[in-house]
């Protein structure tokens, strides 16, 4: 096997492909973007038909063996840094990890080390694996849980398309102040940047359509709830904004809270229990971009949230 490439993506043309141009078959059978087709055309063995390099304008016949070969790349702009990774799933195309709270996903201005990307790039290099860091989605710095990283552009494009189409199922566990109006419900409220703080998101009429589903998983007499949350859309800070909107801000989240909650007796009792928003990406369901296999990957609650849950169960109702 040529180590310059990932294992080829293969399709054997059938009667439905007969007479079509190769570019049409690539789109129909692989769902590949035009940008990637252009890149494959300039790769030595990028597009092959029956073992020969092929032009995308060629006419396809039934029985033709079509192979796409994606070149391996490396993230030369990310400093490798040894760190412990909690790996949930890995194959030639994807790496799925349980990100700890307090860690940024990708290097940004002022944060060039200590990120999840630094650790993953080091992990790949130690294994002699040439991959480029392609995060398919993000988690806030202080949100823990499942995050998927693609190892090559095709996997990234396919999963990104699933995200756009809403077929990726993201589930979270949140611990909030108060109790939602219903045991199960949805929050449909548009979100946009705050006019006063560009880093903060708010519910506003001219915002992007945003949908969050919730189900109460636990009610605590002290005045808090555990919620199982599923995203209908994926806006920045969506869960935090929507929970504040319905009067149930996340415990530990001072940025998206209100003065009454921040200064409450319950907040004082929990101050030494958790020092970040009580939010964990507990599972991610999607279709594998290459094999087509349905995957549901889960990350157990971290220690700080288990401790928080135990504390909430033992606290008495406010007098």
For the chain, domain boundaries: 9-68, 87-165, 169-314
CATH number of 9-68: 3.10.290.10
How confident is the model over 149-172, as pLDDT tens digits? Answer: 999 999 999 999 999 898 999 999
How much is the pLDDT for 176? 97
The CATH number assigned to the domain with range 87-165 reads: 3.30.2350.10
Sites in the chain below the pLDDT cut of 70: 1-2, 319
Residue 303 pLDDT: 97
Cα torsion angle, 222, 226, 232, 237, sign: positive
Domain 169-314 falls in which CATH fold?
Answer: Pseudouridine synthase (3.30.2350)
Closest of 282, 308, 303, 299 to residue 177, by C-alpha: 308
Instruction: State the catalytic residues.
Output: 140
Q: What is the pLDDT of residues 58-103, one digit of tens each?
A: 999 999 999 998 888 888 889 999 999 999 999 999 999 999 999 9
169-314 and 87-165 share a CATH fold: yes
pTM of the model: 0.90
- The number of CA neighbours under 13 Å toward the Cβ of 186 is 11
Q: Are strands 279-287 and 144-150 parallel, antiparallel or unpaired?
A: parallel
Instruction: Specify whether the CB–CB gap between 281 and 307 falls below 8 A.
Output: no
């Amino acid at each position: 096997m040529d180590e310059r490439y990932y294992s080829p993506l293969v399709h054997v043309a059938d009667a439905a492909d007969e007479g079509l141009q190769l570019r049409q078959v690539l789109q129909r059978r692989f769902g590949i973007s035009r940008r990637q087709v252009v890149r494959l055309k300039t790769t030595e063995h990028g597009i092959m038909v029956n073992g020969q390099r092929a032009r995308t304008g060629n006419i396809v016949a039934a029985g033709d063996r079509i192979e796409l070969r994606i070149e391996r790349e490396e993230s030369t702009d990310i400093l490798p840094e040894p760190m412990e990774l909690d790996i949930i799933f890995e194959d030639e195309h994807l790496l799925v990890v349980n990100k700890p709270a307090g860690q940024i996903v990708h290097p940004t201005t002022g944060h060039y080390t200590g990120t999840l990307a630094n650790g993953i790039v080091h992990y790949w290099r130690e294994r002699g694996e040439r991959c480029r860091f392609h995060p398919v989605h993000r988690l806030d710095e202080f949100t823990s849980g499942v995050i998927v990283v693609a190892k090559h552009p095709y996997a990234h494009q396919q999963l990104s398309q699933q995200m756009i189409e809403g077929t990726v199922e993201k589930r979270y566990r949140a611990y909030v102040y108060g109790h939602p109006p219903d045991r199960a419900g949805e929050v449909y409220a548009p979100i946009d940047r705050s006019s006063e703080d560009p880093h903060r998101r708010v519910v506003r009429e001219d915002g992007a359509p945003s949908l969050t589903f919730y189900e109460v998983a636990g009610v605590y007499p002290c005045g808090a709830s555990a919620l199982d949350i599923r995203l209908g859309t994926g806006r920045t800070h969506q869960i935090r904004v929507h929970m504040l909107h319905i009067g149930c801000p996340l415990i530990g989240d001072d940025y998206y809270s209100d003065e009454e909650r921040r200064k409450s007796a319950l907040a004082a009792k929990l101050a030494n229990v958790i020092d970040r928003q009580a939010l964990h990406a507990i599972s991610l369901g999607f279709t594998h971009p290459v094999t087509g296999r349905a995957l549901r990957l889960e990350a157990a609650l971290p220690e700080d949230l288990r401790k928080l849950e135990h504390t909430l169960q033992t606290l008495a109702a406010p007098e």
